[in-house]
């Protein structure tokens, strides 16, 4: 296991290094002078000179890159062109909103997918199975931002029970937090849940056909016990992986959804940075998203290997 | 999902567990294979639905400007924000523009962006995948590590970042989406090349001195085509979703050109007063993506049953 952890972690670090190269290259590809472009109409020579100096864009490329990576490793991602605030503080301010949304969305996804997937596998071919298939096909094809609009239309427009957008910090107003959380979390969660449903169904179906399940049944073990001990427990292994991968891709899903619901997370920060041409913040946000994405994938792989020893030797 | 109508006696997919019974060097009877795939598709109810939707879309995409009852930017301010009616089946927007006409005209750009983006991803990805799989060793390592890095970004985020740098417009959206979907084509192609590379007909061709380029073009590419075709259909669905998301965020199609994504964004602002502004453009996106997904899934069942479905592909599980 130790060797597997080492190998997989090294891989992730190498990829992260590649990510840093791309993130760094982004700003180099901006046509013209990024600082000047970013200042736009707010241009004045003093601010320009200060930002230019601070961003280090005069120095040779290699030196710029090394100082960017060196800074990133010590938690210094430069300062925002727009506010002058350190990028790291800006990012950490926004992180909790995004993480809480991703977490709640995953919860919604599991609440949808686990019962639906299990039922449709146990009653394969039945009406409920067909319903689950249609639901998952629809979930995969529906644009999340459209679903958000439909939910707002229904729950804040027609029924008037939930706020259409906004955010309340959990600690200051738990009820407000929850009521603002429902619509965005359902939006992101249902799409992921649709995908998960299919995997859970396939995993349970596969286990149902296994010899050990047949043997257990032949021994006269109660069906509910067979399901719990033999089917669901084994079906859990692939589901863990997909759930983890889903969590990672949820991070991508929250970007657009945050914009719709005026959710003060990393996704909205990214878009604001794009619109304001605030390149250091954009770089930092992209870097953080990619790092989170890699981290989740790494943890999933390690967890998977811990649960299923075959993985460690297969690769 | 299984297709009831797939003939069991269909030609063995080269590369897909091509066992000893596959005669080396025999090109598949392409015309009859094509007919069988078509038959399999037509026996699949969802796929037929998807094909009909796609055919309609194509008609709207090509002739949308002529078919639309009004001009996409024809203003009728006195009749702004009116609900669906005989004159305006999808209602009018905040400037009195006909939503149906705008949805129809927007189809062209969405399809075009999707097609060009997938074309870019297909060309780049297949080339890289062929080279990586065929030459192996350090070439493979180098190419696939770069693909791994591109895979490390959430797709929409990478597209946003690229457009942010290049500047928001349609062409850059195509380039960005093309880059984002390149790694998946590279991976799919490479995986298939690895299974075909050691086939007897490839070794036979090599032994009589066939050059690399000719070998790749005539012997390898045709035999890895099935999974690539399937991936193309599924990617069209994702590419159109990405385009609409970029346009929604104001980073894709720019006004005055109508786009489904931007119409949804505008609809968001009037969600309480004019539900039709948000419902119809979104339904157009949904139907388009659904059609490409079900056709892709059916194609996969017919051509290459071992490949991942749209849903699995969306889950991002690497094969």
**Model's pTM, two decimal places?**
0.85
Q: Which residues of A touch B155 (CB under 8 A)?
A: 252
At B316 the pLDDT is 47
ipTM exceeding the 0.95 mark: no
Contacts of A224 (CB under 8 A, 6+ apart): none
CA separation for the pair B316, B312 (Å, rounded): 7
pLDDT beyond 50 at B13: no
Please, which pLDDT band fits residue B248 given cuts at 50, 70 and 90? very high
Among candidates A143, A249, A256 on the partner chain, residue whose Cβ is nearest the Cβ of B282: A143
User: Cβ–Cβ of B152/A146 closer than 8 Å?
Assistant: no
Chain B residue with the nearest C-alpha to that of A29: B165
pLDDT, residue B234, reads 84
Cβ atoms of A66 and A53 within 8 Å: the answer is no
Q: What is the reported pLDDT for B7?
A: 35
Q: For chain B, what are the domain ranges?
A: 33-64+98-311
Q: Considering only the beta carbons, identify the residue of B272, B286, B310 that sits closest to A143.
A: B286
pLDDT in tens, A32-69: 777 877 777 777 888 788 777 777 777 788 888 888 88
Bigger pLDDT: A309 vs B159: B159
pLDDT in tens, B105-136: 999 999 999 999 999 999 999 999 999 988 88
pLDDT in tens, A199-208: 888 888 888 8
pLDDT over threshold 60, residue B239: yes
Of A3-12, A235-244, B89-98, B184-193, the poorest mean pLDDT is in A235-244
All domains of chain A, ordered by start, with CATH? Answer: 2-87 (no CATH), 94-307 (1.10.3720.10)
Which residues in chain B have their CB less than 8 angstroms from residue A265's CB? none
Whether pLDDT at B40 is above 80: no
What per-residue confidence (pLDDT) applies to A82? 84
Q: If DSSP states are collapsed to H, E and C, what string results for A215-273?
A: HHHHCCCCHHHHHHHHHHHHHHHHHHHHHHHHHHHHHHHHHHHHHHCCCCCHHHHHHHH
Chain B touched by A193 (CB under 8 Å): no
**For the domain bounded by B33-64+98-311, which CATH number is listed?**
1.10.3720.10
> What's residue A81's pLDDT?
84
Cβ–Cβ gap A286/B153 under 8 Å: yes
- pLDDT, tens digit, 9 for 90 and up, residues B43-97: 777 889 899 999 999 999 898 888 888 888 888 888 888 889 888 889 888 888 9
- Nearest CA distance, A287 vs chain B (angstrom): 9
CB contact under 8 A, B316 and A245: yes
Strand-pair partners of B7: none
Torsion of Cα atoms, A187 then A189 then A190 then A195, to 10°: 140
DSSP structure string for A60-125: -HHHHHHHHHHHHHTT---B-TTT--BHHHHHHHHHHHHHHHHHHHHHHHHHHHHHHHHHHHHTTT
pLDDT, residue A152, reads: 92
Say whether residue A145 is in contact with chain B using an 8 A CB cutoff.
yes
Structure confidence at residue B186 (pLDDT): 93
Query: Which pLDDT does position B309 carry in this prediction?
Result: 60
């Amino acid at each position: 296991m130790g060797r597997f952890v080492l190998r997989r972690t090294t891989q992730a670090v190498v990829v992260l290094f590649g990510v840093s190269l791309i993130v760094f290259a982004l700003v180099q590809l901006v046509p013209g002078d990024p600082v000047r472009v970013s200042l736009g109409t707010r241009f004045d020579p003093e601010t320009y000179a200060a930002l230019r100096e601070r961003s280090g864009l005069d120095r040779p490329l290699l030196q710029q890159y090394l100082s960017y990576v060196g800074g990133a490793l010590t938690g210094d991602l430069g300062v925002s062109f727009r506010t002058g605030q350190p990028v790291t503080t800006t990012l950490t301010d926004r992180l909790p909103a995004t993480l809480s949304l991703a977490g709640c969305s995953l919860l919604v996804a599991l609440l949808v997918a686990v019962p639906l997937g299990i039922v449709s596998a146990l009653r394969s071919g039945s009406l409920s199975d067909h319903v689950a298939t249609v639901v998952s096909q629809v979930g995969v094809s529906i644009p999340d931002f459209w679903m958000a609009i439909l939910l707002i239309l229904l729950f804040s427009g027609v029924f008037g029970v939930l706020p259409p957008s906004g955010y309340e910090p959990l600690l200051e107003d738990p009820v407000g937090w929850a009521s603002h959380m429902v619509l965005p979390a359902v939006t992101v969660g249902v799409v992921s849940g649709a995908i998960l449903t299919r995997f859970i169904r396939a995993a349970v179906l596969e286990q149902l056909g296994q010899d050990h399940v047949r043997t257990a049944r032949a021994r006269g073990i109660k069906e509910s016990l067979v399901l719990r001990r033999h089917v669901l427990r084994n079906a859990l292994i692939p589901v863990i992986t997909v759930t983890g991968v889903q969590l990672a891709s949820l991070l991508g899903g929250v970007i657009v959804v945050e914009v719709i619901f005026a959710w003060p997370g990393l996704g909205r920060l990214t878009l604001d940075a794009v619109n304001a041409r605030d390149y250091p913040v954009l770089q930092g946000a992209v870097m953080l998203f990619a790092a989170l994405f890699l981290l989740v994938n790494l943890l999933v792989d390690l967890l998977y290997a811990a649960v299923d020893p075959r993985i460690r030797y297969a690769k | 999902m299984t297709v009831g109508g797939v003939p069991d006696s269909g030609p063995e997919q080269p590369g897909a567990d091509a066992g000893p019974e596959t005669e080396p060097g025999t090109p598949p009877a392409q015309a009859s294979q094509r007919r069988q795939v078509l038959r399999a598709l037509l026996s699949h109810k969802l796929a037929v639905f998807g094909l009909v939707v796609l055919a309609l879309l194509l008609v709207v995409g090509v002739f949308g400007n002529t078919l639309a009852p009004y001009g996409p930017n024809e203003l009728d301010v006195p009749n702004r924000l009116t609900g669906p009616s005989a004159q305006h089946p999808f209602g009018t927007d905040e400037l009195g523009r006909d939503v149906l006409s705008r949805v129809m005209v927007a189809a062209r750009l969405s399809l075009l962006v999707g097609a060009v983006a997938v074309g870019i991803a297909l060309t780049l990805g297949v080339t890289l995948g062929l080279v990586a799989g065929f030459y192996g060793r350090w070439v493979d390592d180098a190419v696939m590590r770069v693909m791994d890095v591109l895979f490390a970004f959430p797709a929409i985020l990478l597209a946003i970042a690229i457009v942010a740098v290049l500047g928001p417009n349609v062409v850059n959206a195509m380039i960005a989406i093309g880059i984002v979907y390149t790694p998946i084509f590279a991976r799919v192609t490479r995986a298939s090349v690895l299974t075909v590379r050691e086939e007897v007909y490839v070794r036979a061709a090599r032994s009589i001195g066939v050059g690399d380029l000719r070998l790749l073009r005539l012997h390898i590419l045709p035999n890895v085509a099935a999974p690539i075709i399937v991936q193309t259909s599924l990617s069209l669905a994702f590419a159109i979703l990405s385009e609409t998301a970029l346009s929604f965020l104001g980073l894709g199609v720019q006004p005055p050109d109508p786009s489904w994504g931007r119409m949804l964004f505008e609809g968001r602002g009037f969600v309480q007063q004019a539900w039709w502004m948000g419902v119809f453009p979104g339904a157009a996106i949904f139907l388009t993506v659904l059609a490409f997904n079900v056709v892709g899934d059916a194609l996969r069942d017919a051509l290459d049953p071992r490949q991942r479905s749209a849903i699995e592909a969306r889950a991002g599980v690497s094969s």
